[in-house]
Amino acid sequence: MAYWLMKSEPDELSIQDLAKLGQTRWDGVRNYQARNFLRAMAAGDEFFFYHSSCPEPGIAGIGRIVAGAYPDPTALDPQSHYYDIKASAEKNPWSALDVAHVETFPKVLGLGYLKQQAELAEMPLVQKGSRLSVMPVTAAQWAAVLALR
C-alpha cells in the first residue's frame, strides 16, 4: 500500500462532504505531474485529505482509493469548470479515480503547524514552492502525521 496527499478546496469537496457521500469521484486534476501520481495510485492506497485555498488550510482527514485511474469525464464536459477543449473521447490526457472516506480528524492539522514538525521537513507539502494537488507521502511521514491528530 502507498500513501498520498490530495488537496481539495472545501467549497468544492470537503472531508465532511466525502463523509456524507461515503464515496465519490476525484476529478479535475490539471497538472501533468499530479495526474501521473493519480495514475500511480491503486485501490487500497490511503491519502491525507488536505483542505486548500481556504481560511484554515491543512490536513482534515483520511481517504482511501477505491478504484484506480480512468479517463476524467469532466475534461469532455463543456459545462464543467475542468473542461479541456483539446481533450476527446479518443485522446483524454486527464485522469480521475474513485475515493472513499476513512476518517475525519477532530481538528484540521494546519499547514503552519505541519511546517513546525521536524519529522515532516522533507514532505513536499511543507517545501517552499510546492503547489502540487497530489503528492506521495512516505510511510514515516504518514506515521508522523497520524501521531499529530
> Average pLDDT of 109-123?
96
- Whether this prediction's pTM lies above 0.85 is answered by yes
- Res. 130 pLDDT band, cuts 50 70 90: confident
Spatial separation of the C-alpha atoms in residues 108 and 63, rounded to whole Å = 14
Assigned architecture for domain 3-148: Roll (3.10)
The predicted structure's pLDDT at residue 129: 80
Residue with C-alpha cell 503528492?
A: 135
The predicted structure's pLDDT at residue 35: 96
Spatial separation of the C-alpha atoms in residues 108 and 111, rounded to whole Å = 9
- Res. 81 pLDDT band, cuts 50 70 90: confident
- Res. 131 pLDDT band, cuts 50 70 90: confident
The predicted structure's pLDDT at residue 1: 86
- Res. 92 pLDDT band, cuts 50 70 90: very high
Q: How far is CA 6 from the centre of its chain?
A: 1
> Average pLDDT of 2-26?
97
